[in-house]
């Protein structure tokens, strides 16, 4: 499994470009399976992480559920950069 690359700041911002991208795909008729696969391809993580991200985007879940899942899957154990090339929250610059 590859590391999920989005930072906490992006995950909690339900108006973020990343969530809007998912909503746009749904509006265009892309299937959930295809969108979940695209999320994994673009942002990494496992299938469950991608499904949770999808559910948040369409309003069926909350960011806290995804954050809890990511903590369980050891998402924050190593220094990683988010999609903007910035250190994830919690790591000193």
Query: Given this model, what pLDDT does residue 3 score?
Result: 86
> Between 75 and 46, whose confidence is greater?
46
pTM above 0.85, yes or no: no
Q: Is residue 35 within 8 Å of 25, Cβ to Cβ? A: yes
- The secondary structure of 19-81 as a DSSP string is HHHHHHHHHTT--HHHHHHHHHHHH---HHHHHHHHHHHTTSS-HHHHHHHHHHTTTTSS--B
- The tens digit of pLDDT for each residue in 45-72 reads 999 999 999 999 999 999 999 999 888 8
Contact in structure between 14 and 27 (CB atoms under 8 Å): no
């Amino acid at each position: 499994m590859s590391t999920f690359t989005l930072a906490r700041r992006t995950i909690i911002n339900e108006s973020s470009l990343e969530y809007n991208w998912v909503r746009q795909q749904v509006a265009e008729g892309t299937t959930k399976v295809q969108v979940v696969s695209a999320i994994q391809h673009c942002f990494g993580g496992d299938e469950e992480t991608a499904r949770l991200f999808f559910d948040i985007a369409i309003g069926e879940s909350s960011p806290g559920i995804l954050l809890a899942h990511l903590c369980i899957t050891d998402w924050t154990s190593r220094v990683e950069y988010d999609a903007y090339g910035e250190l994830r929250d919690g790591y000193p610059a």
